[in-house]
Amino acid sequence: DIFQKADLPQKYGYKLLSGERHTTNRDKLLRIFIAMDMTLKETQRALMLYGLAALYPKKKRDAIIIIAINQGVSSVDIVNEWLSEHGEAELS
């Protein structure tokens, strides 16, 4: 269900989370974390453990994602709508 909500192939998602496969595309992981309904603290920690930049509130796009996570939005589509409404790139 998580990978379906994140709009990622299940096999690929499992490989990302298990460490069998690595990505430098932070958006793919954010899709999974949002679909998992992770808290901001959990998301920041997971990004750090994965070796990627944490969400930075002074960057407009990251701030929108932070707000969505803090409000408990667990739909990638809704997050993408918010990003699009504010002229920011959607999660790839």
6 within 8 A of 31, measured Cβ to Cβ: yes
CB atoms under 10 Å from CB of 3, counted, come to: 19
Report the chain's terminal Cα–Cα distance, integer Å: 19
pTM to 2 decimals?
0.91
Task: Report pLDDT digits (tens) over 23-75.
Answer: 889 999 999 999 999 999 999 999 999 899 999 999 999 999 999 999 999 99
User: In angstroms, rounded to a whole number, what is the distance separating the alpha carbons of residues 42 and 86?
Assistant: 25
User: In angstroms, rounded to a whole number, what is the distance separating the alpha carbons of residues 83 and 61?
Assistant: 7
Q: Which residue has the higher pLDDT, 25 or 83?
A: 83
